[in-house]
Structure 1
Amino acid sequence: MLSPRSVAVIGASDDPTRIGGRPLSYMISRGFAGPVWPVNPKRDRVQGLAAFPDVDALPGVPDAAIVAVPGALAEAAVEALGRRGCPAAIVFTAGYAEVDEAGQAAQARLVSIARGHGMRLLGPNCLGLFNAPLGYFPIFTASFENGWPAEPLPGRGRVGIASQSGAYGTHLFGAARNRGIATPVVVTTGNEAEVTLGDVIGWMAEDDGIEVIAAYSEGVREGPRFLEALEAARRARKPVVMMKVGRSALGAHAARSHTASIAGDDAVTGAVLEEFGVHRARNTEEMLDVAYAATPRIYPARNTLGVVSISGGAGVMISDAAEEQAMPMPPMPEDAQERLRVLIPYCNPANPVDCTAQVFNDMTLVGAFARAMVEDGGYTSLIAFFTQVGASPSLAAKLRAQLNAVRADHPDRLWVLSVLAPPERVREYEADGYLVFEDPSRAVVALAAQGRFGAAFARPPRAAVPLPTVTLPAEAPDEAGAKRLLEEAGLPAVPEAATAGVEEAVEAARRIGFPVVMKLLSPDILHKSEVGGVLLGVADEAAVRAGHARLMANAAANAPSARVTGILVARQVSGAVEVALGIARDPVFGPVAMVGLGGVFIEVLRDVALRRCPVDVTEAEAMIRSLRGFPLLDGARGRPRADVPALARALSALSAFAAAAGERLASVDVNPVLVLPEGEGAFAADAVIELG
């Protein structure tokens, strides 16, 4: 499909501006080396090439075929190609699952035909693809009327574009071309009835002609294939920059109507992309900035930023951007700062290093300051802010010579010049090996992404997590049953007992020790506090008897149809931090583990961390430490430090339980988990398991 030796065009047009004519025109003019066979029953020749009335009349079996005919004719064409043994079809035809249920049925038939013949199918409802080095252009975009793709410049790399949207995919290509970024391969996947975005990313991860992958997604189909592709790119040290749209409810609806995608939960998708080191771009500009900054192929795993500037204001702006991106900007060593003060007594030598306008009088100072930052500061990424000095006829050549001397000795660093200069001067700097940005804040975002790529590339593959044996009950369990299942999987519960009558409840409370908590047991009541089903601080046997009567009365009054299986009596724990753990089943990526601090942190601030199940204890602890409210677990304001390792073990055990339980497990809510001081453990105080 992507590197064929021969191509057939079903529905070929003699008009090079029509959908069936553009691919022929492009391949003829761009020098595709193999035979191109137009299929058109009404013409003997199409755009100067011998034409054939149907697929059966072709002189050979094409490696790939373009299907550019409407409706039922497309289905017949795929069937005919399959009978001939054609291994790949690119279907431009629209009117399938993106439209209505009848279109979904027609799309299913198309896929069934293709798979029955062992044929890969791109689309339908796709714009096509191109592989420029081969002169191969099975695509009907108008982009090539607007100028030929820019030739690769030194250090500008080869960026592959994979896009579910055809028009937006070629928009990215055009925008990249305008930035001088080489994009030799673009693939648009349309409805993804058979070939998915994950398939394309996986191919690009393995192709030697692609160094950086830029992807546009409206929703992920075939989650396992997508995950395999991201892991293949990570192993190949190829950055993936993705624009995943559909964050909003309105955007998710538009994605469904556009390409029949499953948008999935946006927060889950974000967690998955983070897991594999994918940079999620907020817009086209950021996507191209990050891809452009990746083209030197320098990915520092421990990334630090050093800034040398002739503007104190620019230094402050860069520092703000670095803090937003969590990019470290450590200060220069004290002895290095003293040496810089000797050169310019009124400079600011910390970081950002402000070398002041004094460099206008002595450009060698630029070289001295830049060298100190690299050799004394040890920064892996550097921004040199020289605004219009970079284009000045009287100063630019001297500036370039000074910086080049330092850069030549340290080619393993990422160097950004923030200058305002005409295109020809920018190309000179890029040829020297610099990334050039007018806006230094955008440069910070792009440089921070390179460090995250490096950290992801340095990580070992995800550790295997042993899974327990899980047998789910026929029906959703009550709280006591849910806790028993989870305890068997390694998530301990607060000492408790499920009781059937009042005297049994009294005996349990006596055994556990006062004060106790009493709760209704019912598989039908998910939120017991809302029906008066929880009593705290039950202090003695008389209170247990009174509490038992009160709970049963509340159940009868507030949840009359609920099945009440008994009363749960549990130890009341004090001095703990409340944490919520949970499992949700994502339609694309399967079970996902969640951790968040209780109370307003999870309900209002949505301070949670998510990961695909299962996670090992190390990854679980990293999730916990990523929470904005983690200081409450770490001894903030004189509190004792909580038993974070015990909480991490509980989260890991819950995730393994979910991975082992299978698709019948819809969700788990363990809230709260009571995390005691260091060394004292973490215990589930409530649990709900929902089955599908």
Structure 2
Amino acid sequence: MPQSEADTALSAMLRPRSVAVIGASEDASRIGGRPIAAMLERGFQGAILPVNPKRDRVQGLPAFASVAELPETPDVAIIAVPPALAEPALRDLGARGTRAAILFTAGYAEMGAAGAEAQARLLGIAREHGMRLLGPNSLGLLNAANGFYGTFTSSLERGYPTPGPIGIASQSGAYGMHLFSMARDWGLGLSCSITTGNEADLTVGDFIAWMAEDPQTEVIAAYSEGIRDGTRFLAAVELARRNRKPVVMMKVGRSALGRAAAQSHTASLAGDDAVTDAVLAEHGVVRARTTDELLDIARLATRRIYPVGNTLGVLTVSGGAGVLVSDAAEAVGLPMPPMPEAAQAALRADLPFCAPQNPVDCTAQVLNDLSLVSRFGEAMLGEGGYRSALLFFTHAGGAPSITPRLREQLRALRGRYPDRLLVLSALADPPQLRQFEEDGFTVFADPSRAVVAIHAMGRFGDAFADAPPPVLPEVPALPLPATTPSEAEAKRLLAAAGIATAPERVCADAGAAAEAAQALGFPVVMKILSPDILHKSEIGGVLLNVADAAAAREGFALLMRRAAEAAPQARLEGVLVAKQLSGGVECILGINRDPVFGPVAVFGLGGIFVEVLRDVALRRCPFGEAEAEAMIRSIRGAPLLLGARGRPPADIAALAQMLSRLSVLAHRAGPGLAAIDLNPVFAMPAGEGAFAADAVIEIAEHAS
């Protein structure tokens, strides 16, 4: 695909032919001196143009008094001056036609309203000149392949990275370079490392998109405190998914305290964490909980084996390790099906005291007969058919008397099954570990960490597998009312979208209520009807089990009195009389507009399941009925819908249709829609449908 203007600017930023350093310093330990020193040391081939009005030379290079005096227009400029000087420098660079700028300068949106205004001015200058910005408040970036070090990180004092396939994009500068330093210390090969800071312009998502097209980057590791532009971010991770480039991400701010810290640190919008979890999973991004986990997954991903329908077979010399691995696999949801019975029998015939179920324990006998490794491994991969295998050899794997022969057995296994993900857990010295790695095996000391990484490879494989596009139901675009409607009006809108509700009537007086109740059939539910009273039960505005006409008359008067006492300013439209449903499973369906990702659908069972256990499924809108059914079946309480303990199974198809239609309605409604709450929805027995008994549609405050 042709490069966009943004792609071109990002390429200029990471592969520049010339770089100006505004605020260049002779002192290689200062912020304005570190990039120059690093580029000189690593042999950067482009032109380095120091700008310093007080010096003729900087670190042996000719220096220039101003941007105007530069002998050429730099592809990128590093701005390492205070805020008062950064703005005119950016303007001068724009006038020269510089395409990109890296702003080390801090003191902008992270400092409050005045800083946000100054940051907006910087962005305005850049936009005026068609320039792209990294930062401000950025620690910069580096490209290990070409020796471009546009960063002032002190981590380079401990060494430079080996060029390789892993790219890092981080919103946080210090933590991004913490990731970089750990990756370098682990010996991981890096293509680039980028820190985006305040993201006045360019975001982590923009650099994920760039790395998704970068031939030097095969694996993308990201750290984010808040996703600023959900649309751009999702387009980026979708591009990576289509290009079969795994994205592993630490998205921090899970806790309320963490979200508050993210706001103060980079002025980011953290969004709801449960929504973020669901959306990342939907788009094939694996979310890492810790730094070690992120790097474990990135390291294993460089093998570029992403099993679809992943299953784990375990070959071990320790029964205890087998139990540990089984626990870890169950915790992450990685299937470990048992070996076929015939294969188990054959292994017992080979070694009567082995335990061949899975984990397959070949015992310490392997020390006497290393051919057991290939024979048992062949059975696991050939007859067991496992897509991944974890081979646990503990300290025996590093014993000088064993390692050479073990490598022979493992290389033979690797050669026969090049498409399988084979991982070792062993303790060995660095030279031996390198030998195993060169043979095509990633080695983990901790088998539990290996399991998490193996599970991630399967998630990538499933995400990369071609899937048919969702089939969306036909739902008309419905004009939203200017303000939040009453329940009756909300249900009329939902009915137009094909969402079924319980039979009901709007009644303006007691006589009409009695007549409606008689026509609908007892018992009925009676509810106060007002666009100003959305949560009716809180004021006693709902009456259940109304059993006759007289009770309906009395109920009307009671509801009107309670409403007048609890909400005297509320507009009252009368009382809603509805057929009281029974015999179904109560569910909750809803829509919430996430500030980052837009409308998100929620499904769960009613009562304790949602209020206490928070057993819900989330998915970004819109989606089809197949995706809706997968959501319904994914909750822990799904057996109650599927016929647990002799209950009749619920009408899952009707529920999925309602949920899918709701998602399309929300997507088409646009930002004027704040929320929809259908609670309860009665999922009747199979073939009898699903009906919303109550409905609230909230209009966003700015919509009017």
Where on the TM-score scale, by shorter chain, does this alignment land: which range? over 0.9
Q: How far apart in 2 are the matches of 1:257 and 1:410? A: 51
- Superposition map of 1:496-645 within 5 A: 496-645=504-653
2:126 to 114, 117, 125: 114
- The aligned counterpart of 2:351 is 344
1:60 is matched by which residue type in structure 2? Answer: E
- The aligned counterpart of 2:333 is 326
Unaligned runs of 5+ in 2: 1-12
Q: How far apart in 1 are the matches of 2:594 and 2:319? A: 48
- The aligned counterpart of 1:195 is 202
Equivalent pair of 1:506/1:545 in contact (CA under 8 Å): yes
Q: CA deviation at 1:150?
A: 3.6
Give yes or no for the alignment of 1:51 onto 2:68. no
- The aligned counterpart of 2:187 is 180
Q: How far apart in 1 are the matches of 2:475 and 2:671? A: 15
1:168 is matched by which residue type in structure 2? Answer: Y
Q: How far apart in 1 are the matches of 2:507 and 2:479? A: 24
Q: CA deviation at 1:473?
A: 1.1
Q: How far apart in 2 are the matches of 1:46 and 1:462? A: 57
Q: How far apart in 1 are the matches of 2:327 and 2:530? A: 52
- The aligned counterpart of 2:178 is 171
Q: How far apart in 1 are the matches of 2:162 and 2:486? A: 65
1:90 is matched by which residue type in structure 2? Answer: I
Q: CA deviation at 1:151?
A: 5.6
Give yes or no for the alignment of 1:312 onto 2:291. no
Over aligned residues, Cα RMSD in angstroms? 1.1
1:540 is matched by which residue type in structure 2? Answer: D
Per mean C-alpha deviation after superposition, the further-off stretch among 591-600 and 393-402 is 393-402
Q: CA deviation at 1:271?
A: 1.1
2:191 is matched by which residue type in structure 1? Answer: P
- Superposition map of 1:34-73 within 5 A: 34-73=46-85
Give yes or no for the alignment of 1:3 onto 2:15. yes
Q: How far apart in 2 are the matches of 1:347 and 1:376? A: 17
2:173 is matched by which residue type in structure 1? Answer: G
Q: How far apart in 1 are the matches of 2:14 and 2:691? A: 54
Q: TM-score, normalised by structure 1?
A: 0.98
- The aligned counterpart of 2:464 is 457
Q: CA deviation at 1:226?
A: 0.4
- Superposition map of 1:282-293 within 5 A: 282-293=289-300
Q: How far apart in 1 are the matches of 2:187 and 2:43? A: 23
Q: CA deviation at 1:612?
A: 1.0
Q: CA deviation at 1:467?
A: 4.6
Per mean C-alpha deviation after superposition, the further-off stretch among 524-533 and 209-218 is 524-533
- The aligned counterpart of 1:489 is 497
2:268 is matched by which residue type in structure 1? Answer: S
Give yes or no for the alignment of 1:33 onto 2:40. no
Q: How far apart in 2 are the matches of 1:611 and 1:631? A: 20
Q: CA deviation at 1:277?
A: 1.2
4+ residue runs over 6 A deviation: none
Equivalent pair of 2:525/2:546 in contact (CA under 8 Å): yes
- The aligned counterpart of 2:229 is 222
Per mean C-alpha deviation after superposition, the further-off stretch among 679-688 and 511-520 is 511-520
- The aligned counterpart of 1:141 is 153
Deviation digits for residues 294-316 of structure 1 (CA, Å, limit 9, x no counterpart) = 11100011101000111001001
- Superposition map of 1:246-395 within 5 A: 246-395=253-402
Q: TM-score, normalised by structure 2?
A: 0.96
Deviation digits for residues 580-608 of structure 1 (CA, Å, limit 9, x no counterpart) = 11111111111111111100111111111
Equivalent pair of 1:468/1:656 in contact (CA under 8 Å): no
2:54 is matched by which residue type in structure 1? Answer: K
Give yes or no for the alignment of 1:647 onto 2:659. no
- The aligned counterpart of 2:449 is 442
Q: CA deviation at 1:462?
A: 4.6
Per mean C-alpha deviation after superposition, the further-off stretch among 337-346 and 462-471 is 462-471
Q: How far apart in 1 are the matches of 2:151 and 2:145? A: 15
1:231 is matched by which residue type in structure 2? Answer: E
Deviation digits for residues 151-188 of structure 1 (CA, Å, limit 9, x no counterpart) = 65xxxxx1100000111111111111121111120010
Q: How far apart in 2 are the matches of 1:464 and 1:8? A: 52
- Superposition map of 1:68-87 within 5 A: 68-87=80-99
Q: How far apart in 1 are the matches of 2:198 and 2:226? A: 10
- The aligned counterpart of 2:139 is 127
Tell me the secondary structure at the aligned position of residue 220 of structure 1: coil
Deviation digits for residues 49-108 of structure 1 (CA, Å, limit 9, x no counterpart) = 111110111111111010111012000011000011111000000000000111000000
Q: How far apart in 2 are the matches of 1:195 and 1:683? A: 46
1:231 to 219, 233, 238: 238
Q: How far apart in 1 are the matches of 2:368 and 2:487? A: 77
Tell me the secondary structure at the aligned position of residue 77 of structure 2: strand
- The aligned counterpart of 1:155 is none
Q: How far apart in 2 are the matches of 1:326 and 1:426? A: 29
Equivalent pair of 2:145/2:163 in contact (CA under 8 Å): no
Tell me the secondary structure at the aligned position of residue 593 of structure 1: strand
Q: CA deviation at 1:464?
A: 6.0
Q: How far apart in 2 are the matches of 1:129 and 1:334? A: 55
Tell me the secondary structure at the aligned position of residue 479 of structure 2: coil
Equivalent pair of 1:467/1:659 in contact (CA under 8 Å): no
Per mean C-alpha deviation after superposition, the further-off stretch among 158-167 and 537-546 is 537-546
Q: How far apart in 1 are the matches of 2:372 and 2:477? A: 68
Deviation digits for residues 497-555 of structure 1 (CA, Å, limit 9, x no counterpart) = 11111121122222222211111101111221111111111122112112112212222
Q: CA deviation at 1:274?
A: 0.7
Tell me the secondary structure at the aligned position of residue 663 of structure 1: helix
Q: How far apart in 2 are the matches of 1:250 and 1:227? A: 26
Q: How far apart in 2 are the matches of 1:389 and 1:413? A: 23
- Superposition map of 1:412-423 within 5 A: 412-423=419-430
Equivalent pair of 2:163/2:191 in contact (CA under 8 Å): no
Equivalent pair of 2:144/2:162 in contact (CA under 8 Å): no
Q: CA deviation at 1:614?
A: 0.9
Q: How far apart in 1 are the matches of 2:662 and 2:307? A: 34
Q: How far apart in 2 are the matches of 1:50 and 1:527? A: 72
Q: CA deviation at 1:363?
A: 1.2
Unaligned runs of 5+ in 1: 153-157
- Superposition map of 1:391-406 within 5 A: 391-406=398-413
Deviation digits for residues 97-139 of structure 1 (CA, Å, limit 9, x no counterpart) = 0001110000000000000100000000000000111111110
Q: CA deviation at 1:556?
A: 2.3
Q: How far apart in 2 are the matches of 1:635 and 1:353? A: 36
Q: How far apart in 2 are the matches of 1:401 and 1:502? A: 89
Q: How far apart in 2 are the matches of 1:399 and 1:85? A: 60
Q: CA deviation at 1:560?
A: 2.6
Equivalent pair of 1:582/1:593 in contact (CA under 8 Å): yes
Q: CA deviation at 1:459?
A: 4.1
Tell me the secondary structure at the aligned position of residue 495 of structure 2: helix
Give yes or no for the alignment of 1:664 onto 2:643. no
